[in-house]
């Protein structure tokens, strides 16, 4: 029987279709299995990640608990040590008090408790009179101690510990958002200061009352320099940090200031002097920590604290010493170049390197002239203090000066660009200034060392570029010969700019805002041109400082100098016969109405 080809192959096709269908089904199942396995793998991976995250969080929680536990143990240990120290101080006070009652020792020998009772009695008297009682009320409320019982005769070491804990909470938590009155802050300062005095271990013949009165006077002086309640609050915080130092770390190691004092003192320092230096030194650091969180500027009370510290250092046993270096150090702080803490650290390094005050002053002068900050490093990457230790006293000053000169000269291009932008000078003027300054720098490399100054060679009449360069070279050489340092690139550029822009007229008035070195060189330039110059400054202090500081420079150039202040022993004519007169605007105005207005003077007033 005949079958067509299609019918004949149909079973084959059906078989192939069934095989294809089975293959597709198997492929689908395989893919489904792979998908299921992938999902299972992802699920397990997610579970693993979750488990790891849980373990990590558990580990972090465990570490945090461990940290908190250690912190709590440390706090309890510090509190235990503090309470133990307070208990020992109380015991010592009782023993000293009993000894005083049973013997005929000097009336000046008093116990710590007697001193603190006296000051707390002042608080109680204020409370009874109804004024300034806020501090006592706060302490009474938070410590659960009745106000009448807030006396050291009744307080235990535990109660004093509670008071300190309350002060900590107030100063670093509650009072930050809601500061108290200025009176309350001042009472807190007195109380904390007395607790600092309590920590001092004294021997017979030492008056704790005298020490307490002295340190209270210093704190009051610093407190009065605070400009507002917020600054007074920062001072109170710093005093509390100071207190913690005296309860926990006092005597463990010498501060930088104490090391300086021991280096400078010819005789053994007294207990009172050492305590005052330690107190002011740690207060300087504590103020830096408290103020640093609130202000980028150095506050007046920080400078006042440093001033008291330096004054104490320079009078170790009633004799003044190292006054020039400490005055220079204060200038660095006044100009915000160095913080008080950084300044004391620098002074310690210098005092351990140099025994003579003049050597310390020379280094500090270079720091001021070249505007050196604590972040400065030399060409080897060493900081200033490390460079002092590395070079030693014989080489450091010379190496330091050479390094500063090289760095300063390398800044010529940048300084010219800044001068052009600030003064809006033409490119032609900038080119002249650059050529003059470059010529002076080349001259400085081979300047005659001991060549006598010839006044006839110091002339600048025509004021062409060569004359200006020669004049600047002579002026810079005069500064170096009298001051020991060469004027900076910035100072030379400013002098050039002033001479070139003002050469058409006579400068009769120089303002206080100008750099003192630039002012002195510019004044000398005017004198050599045949003019007399009045230099008007903002206050008598500036006039006295500038006259004293630059008198040797003017004398070297053969220029007469005077000041119109305090003319009790000098007539008007004697004062204004000088080539240069320093003074304040009030002095010049007063002299004008007294002398020029009447026609008694032959000198034109400044304008």
Angle between helices 540-556 and 516-528 (to 10 degrees): 50
| pLDDT at residue 204 tops 80 | no
- The whole-number average pLDDT for the span 169-189 is 91
Phi, psi of 131 (to 5 degrees): -130, 150
Question: Considering only 103-107, 237-241, 345-349, 551-555, which range has the smallest mean pLDDT?
Answer: 103-107
Determine the 3-state secondary structure of 74 from DSSP: helix
Quote the percentage of the chain above a pLDDT of 90. 31
Residue 461 CA to residue 481 CA, distance in Å, equals 24
How many Cβ atoms from other residues are within 10 Å of residue 131's Cβ? 10
Q: What is the pLDDT of residue 106?
A: 37
Query: Which one has a higher pLDDT value, 411 or 509?
Result: 411
Structure letter (DSSP) for residue 534: E
87 vs 569, higher pLDDT = 87
Q: Give the integer Cα–Cα distance in Å for 311 and 581.
A: 32
User: Which tens digit of pLDDT belongs to each residue from 127-136?
Assistant: 444 434 688 8
Residue 268: per-residue pLDDT? 76
The least confident of 117-126, 294-303, 427-436, 567-576 is: 117-126
Task: Tell me the sheet residues that pair with 377.
Answer: 383
Query: Which comes out higher in pLDDT, residue 1 or 201?
Result: 201
Cα–Cα separations (whole angstroms), residue 581 to 516, 522, 577: 14, 14, 9
Query: Distance (Å, rounded) from C-alpha 444 to C-alpha 458?
Result: 16
pLDDT in tens, 555-566: 999 999 988 876
Average pLDDT, the chain: 80
Check whether 402 has a pLDDT greater than 80.
yes
User: How remote is the C-alpha of 318 from its chain's centroid?
Assistant: 28
Would you state the pLDDT for residue 88?
56
User: Which residue shows structure tokens 């004799």?
Assistant: 319
DSSP annotation of 593: I
Higher pLDDT, 108 or 420: 420
pLDDT at 119: 46
Q: What is the pLDDT of residue 107?
A: 40
Least confident of 1-15, 348-362, 444-458: 444-458
Q: What is the predicted pLDDT for the residue at 188?
A: 92
What does the block give as tokens for 127? 């409370």
Q: Determine contact, residues 579/559, Cβ cutoff 8 Å.
A: yes
Quote the pTM value: 0.72
Task: Indicate the SS3 state at residue 510.
Answer: strand
Edge-to-edge strands, sheet with 533-537? 509-510, 533-537, 580-584, 561-563
DSSP states along 166-187? HHHHIIIIIHHHS---HHHHHH
Does 116 have pLDDT greater than 70?
A: no
The whole-angstrom separation of Cα 181 and Cα 551 is: 50
Q: Inform me whether the pLDDT recorded for 105 exceeds 80.
A: no
* Whether residue 75 has pLDDT greater than 80: no
Please compute the mean of the pLDDT values over residues 298-319 and round it to a whole number.
87
| 443: DSSP letter | H
| C-alpha–C-alpha distance, residues 337 and 343, integer Å | 9
Tokens of 362: 């020379």
304: pLDDT strictly greater than 70: yes
> φ and ψ at 66, to 5 degrees?
-65, -40
- Asked whether residue 412 carries a pLDDT value surpassing 90, the answer given is yes
Residue 310: Cβ-neighbour burial (10 angstroms; 0-12, 13-18, 19+): buried
570-582: burial string, b at 16+ Cβ within 10 Å, e else: eebeebbebbbbb
Confidence of residue 101 (pLDDT cuts 50, 70, 90): very low
pLDDT at 12 over 50: yes
Q: 428 or 90: whose pLDDT is higher?
A: 428
Mean pLDDT of 91-119: 44
Confidence of residue 83 (pLDDT cuts 50, 70, 90): low
Length of the chain: 607
The full DSSP string for 264-310 is H-SSPPPHHHHHHHHHHHHHHHHHHHHHHTT-SSPPHHHHHHHHHHH
The residues near 556 (Cβ < 8 Å, ≥ 6 apart) are 453, 478, 481, 482
SS (H, E, C) 350-373: HHHHCCCHHHHHHHHHHHHHCCCC
pLDDT at 504 over 70: no
DSSP state of 574: H
- Residue 130, SS3 per DSSP: coil
Among 107-116, 535-544, 597-606, the range with the most confident prediction by mean pLDDT is: 535-544
Over range 281-289, report the average pLDDT: 93
**Can you give the pLDDT at residue 604?**
45
- Over residues 117-140, the mean pLDDT reads 56
- Mean pLDDT lowest among 189-193, 239-243, 406-410, 568-572: 568-572
| pLDDT in the model for residue 303 | 94
The Cα 89–Cα 407 span in angstroms is 56
Strand, coil or helix: 537: strand
Per the CB < 8 A criterion, the answer to whether 212 and 161 are in contact is no
Mean pLDDT of 45-73: 85
Long-range contacts of the stretch 30-36 (C-beta < 8 A, 24+): none
Residue 274 has pLDDT above 80, yes or no: yes
Match 């040797």 to its residue by tokens.
Answer: 552
């Amino acid at each position: 029987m005949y079958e067509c080809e299609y019918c004949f192959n149909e079973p084959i096709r059906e078989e192939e279709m069934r095989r294809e269908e089975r293959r597709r089904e198997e492929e689908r199942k395989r893919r489904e299995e792979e998908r299921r396995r992938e999902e299972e793998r992802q699920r397990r991976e997610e579970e693993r990640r979750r488990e790891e995250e849980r373990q990590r969080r558990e580990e972090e929680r465990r570490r945090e608990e461990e940290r908190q536990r250690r912190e709590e143990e440390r706090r309890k240990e510090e509190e235990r040590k503090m309470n133990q120290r307070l208990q020992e101080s109380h015991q010592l006070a009782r023993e000293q008090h009993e000894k005083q009652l049973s013997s005929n020792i000097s009336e000046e020998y008093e116990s710590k408790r007697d001193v603190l009772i006296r000051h707390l009695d002042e608080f109680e008297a204020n409370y009874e009179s109804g004024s300034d009682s806020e501090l006592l009320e706060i302490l009474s409320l938070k410590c659960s101690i009745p106000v009448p019982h807030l006396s050291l005769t009744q307080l235990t070491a535990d109660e004093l510990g509670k008071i300190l804990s309350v002060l900590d909470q107030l100063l670093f938590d509650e009072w930050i958002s809601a500061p108290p009155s200025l009176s309350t802050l001042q009472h807190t300062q007195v109380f904390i200061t007395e607790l600092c005095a309590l920590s001092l271990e004294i021997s017979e013949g030492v008056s704790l009352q005298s020490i307490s009165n002295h340190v209270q006077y210093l704190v009051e002086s610093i407190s009065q320099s605070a400009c507002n309640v917020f600054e007074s609050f920062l001072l109170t915080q710093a005093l509390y940090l100071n207190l913690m130092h005296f309860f926990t770390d006092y005597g463990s190691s010498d501060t930088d200031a104490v090391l300086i004092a021991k280096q400078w003192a010819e005789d053994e320092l007294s207990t009172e002097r050492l305590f005052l230096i330690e107190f002011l030194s740690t207060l300087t650091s504590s103020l830096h920590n408290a103020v640093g969180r609130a202000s980028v500027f150095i506050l007046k009370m920080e400078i006042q604290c440093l001033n008291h510290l330096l004054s104490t250092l320079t009078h170790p046993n009633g004799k003044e010493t190292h006054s020039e270096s400490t005055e220079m150090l204060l200038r660095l702080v006044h100009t915000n170049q160095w913080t008080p803490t950084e300044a004391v650290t620098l002074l310690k390094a210098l005092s351990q390197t140099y025994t003579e005050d003049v050597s310390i002053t020379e280094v500090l002068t270079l720091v001021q002239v070249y505007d050196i900050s604590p972040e400065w490093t030399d060409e080897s990457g060493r900081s200033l203090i490390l460079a002092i230790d590395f070079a030693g006293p014989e080489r450091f000053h010379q190496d330091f000066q050479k390094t500063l000169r090289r760095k300063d000269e390398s800044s010529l291009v940048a300084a010219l660009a800044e001068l052009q932008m600030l003064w809006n000078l033409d490119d032609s003027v900038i080119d002249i200034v650059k050529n003059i300054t470059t010529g002076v720098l080349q001259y400085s490399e081979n300047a005659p060392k001991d060549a006598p100054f010839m006044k006839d060679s110091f002339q600048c009449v025509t004021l062409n570029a060569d004359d200006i360069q020669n004049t600047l070279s002579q002026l810079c050489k005069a500064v170096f010969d009298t001051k020991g340092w060469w004027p900076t690139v910035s100072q030379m550029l400013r002098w050039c700019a002033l001479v070139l822009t003002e050469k058409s007229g006579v400068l009769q008035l120089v303002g206080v805002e100008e750099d003192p070195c630039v002012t002195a060189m510019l004044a000398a330039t005017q004198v050599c041109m045949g003019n007399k110059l009045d230099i008007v400054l903002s206050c008598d202090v500036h006039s006295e400082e500038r006259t004293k500081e630059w008198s040797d420079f003017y004398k070297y150039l053969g220029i007469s100098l005077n000041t119109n202040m305090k003319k009790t022993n000098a007539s008007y004519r004697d004062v204004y016969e000088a080539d240069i007169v320093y003074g304040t605007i009030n002095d010049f105005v007063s002299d004008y109405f007294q002398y020029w207005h009447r026609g008694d003077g032959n000198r034109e007033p400044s304008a």
